[in-house]
Amino acid sequence: MVALLALAAAIPAVLGATAPAFVPAGTGPTVQSANYTGMSNGTLQNGPIVPGLAFDRFIQIWFENTDFAVANGTATFQQLAAQGILLDNFVAVTHPSEPNYAAIVGGDFWGMSDDNLHVMPSNISTIVDLLEAKNISWASYQENMPADGYLAYNYTQPDYRNASAPPYTFYVRKHNPLVLYDSIASVPSRNMRNRNFNDFAVDVSNNTLPQWIFITPNLVDDAHDTTIDYTASFIQYWVIPLLTNPNFNTERTLILITFDENDTYTTKNQIWSLLLGGAVPASLYGTTDSTFYSHYSCLSSVEANWGLGSLGRGDTNKTMSNVFEFLLTEYHLNYTNTNVTNPPLTNITGTIPGPLNPDYWVTWTAPDMSAVGAGGGQVFVSSGTNTSLTAAAAGAPVNLTALASSNSTGSGSTSDAMSLRVAGSAVLAAAAGALFLF
């Protein structure tokens, strides 16, 4: 018994000793760092500020794979919550990471249930199309991405935390939502707005940050490869100083701090989310909003704020796209949210039909042209879209995996059969995608 008590007493010390110690990549968010490959290529060029109803700038900062209770029980997150509106009924839309990042830009994840290298066809519309239609500037800032418009699957570099450690992969494509879409990645003027943290340092110092911003910290700073305490230290180092920087947080800035998904797949996909910044009225500091929100609410709220059109996808799903409530109560937005008493399951994965799910494959379909979004504008339709190819016209899902397997001779090895399955799925998906595109 004495030995067991001694062991139990030693556990916290052991855990504390093995927990990674936070190491900042630089001296602060407004200074370029040699620990990032690629110095800034110059200040971002934007047009005039386009005023919105409640905010003139919307900034999203995404962290990784953390249950709501874990973040909510951490002192730094509690400190932030005292300065904003805690959204305690906010959910991710699926698992794992990449489909959530895809959803925040395109309003759908098209059945995706993995973190593979996916490319959305060039006629799949995104929030960028809606923003540019109203001349609203935008950019993404990715920590440790080596160059603007970088398209590779990941980037490995010397580990700035430990000079004697092997090279480390800090940046991954799957956490960069804009680069997933060919309508952005294949257009140089757009793709160069995928920028790194050295660019961010220059842009914020020169007061040239755009109006719509997506920020992804690296794999250690976002809690993916570390812990919530490590991320809390990053927030103290990088986020909190920016909250008092008028080039970042103006009186008309709304900031959303959130996570891509929770960590426990068997529970509700609830993620800690907080609205803060100068656009949040002081009377709402330290309050909690229990309205049902999802990642699609970020799209609908932006559309409502600037009177944009819509994508005709998840951003117009009345259950999944409630607008941030304070826009209605404090800024008198003429919109009615949905009282969601029986929310859909968002912790399921692998069984959602779509062109990126070989087990439940359907072709790429057109947006819902009859949808009405929170911004009141028309559904955006990209050039080359066959608007008659609706979800109803697409037909029942097809199991490409089973189809590819049935076409194998059975005489090859297991690896041969697997290769055939993957190749067959890819070929059929590509062919159907081509039919949709042209």
CA 152 to mean position of chain CA atoms: 18
pLDDT confidence of residue 408: 64
Which residues does residue 139 pair with via DSSP β-bridges, in sequence order? 213
Tokens encoding 437: 């595109």
- Cβ neighbourhood burial of 281 (10 Å; 0-12, 13-18, 19+): middle
Among 194-203, 282-291, 389-398, the range scoring the smallest mean pLDDT is 389-398
35-44, 194-203, 240-249, 369-378 — which is least confidently predicted?
35-44
Q: Which residue, 238, 270, 230, 233, is CA-closest to 255?
A: 238
Whether 229 is a known active-site residue: answer no
Given a cut of 60, is residue 433 above it in pLDDT?
Answer: no
Condensed to tens digits (0 to 9), the pLDDT of residues 302-337 reads 999 999 999 999 999 999 999 999 999 999 999 999
Query: Cβ distance 312 to 371 under 8 Å?
Result: yes
Residues near 193 by beta carbon (within 8 Å), at least 6 away in sequence:
44, 138, 139, 140, 148, 178, 210
CB 221 within 8 A of CB 230: yes
**Exposed/middle/buried for residue 374 (C-beta within 10 Å: 0-12, 13-18, 19+):** buried
Per-residue pLDDT band at 181 (split at 50, 70, 90)? very high
Per-residue pLDDT, averaged over 42-67, amounts to 97
Tell me the two tokens of residue 257: 């701090």
pLDDT at 7 over 90: no
Question: Which residue has better confidence, 193 or 17?
Answer: 193
Contact in structure between 98 and 353 (CB atoms under 8 Å): no
Check residue 414 and give its pLDDT: 36
Helix 296-306 and helix 97-106, axial crossing angle in degrees, nearest 10: 20
Q: What is the mean pLDDT of the chain?
A: 91
Identify the H or E element spanning 435: helix 414-437
- Sorting pLDDT into bands at 50, 70 and 90, what band is 18? low
pLDDT of residue 95: 98
- Cα–Cα distance for residue pair 54/327, rounded to 1 Å: 7
Buried b (16+ CB within 10 A) or exposed e, 163-187: eeeeebebbbbbbbbbbbbebbbee
Q: List the domains of the chain with CATH numbers.
A: 47-349 (3.40.720.10)
What global pTM score does this model have?
0.91
Q: 88, 115, 182, 225: which is the annotated catalytic residue?
A: 225
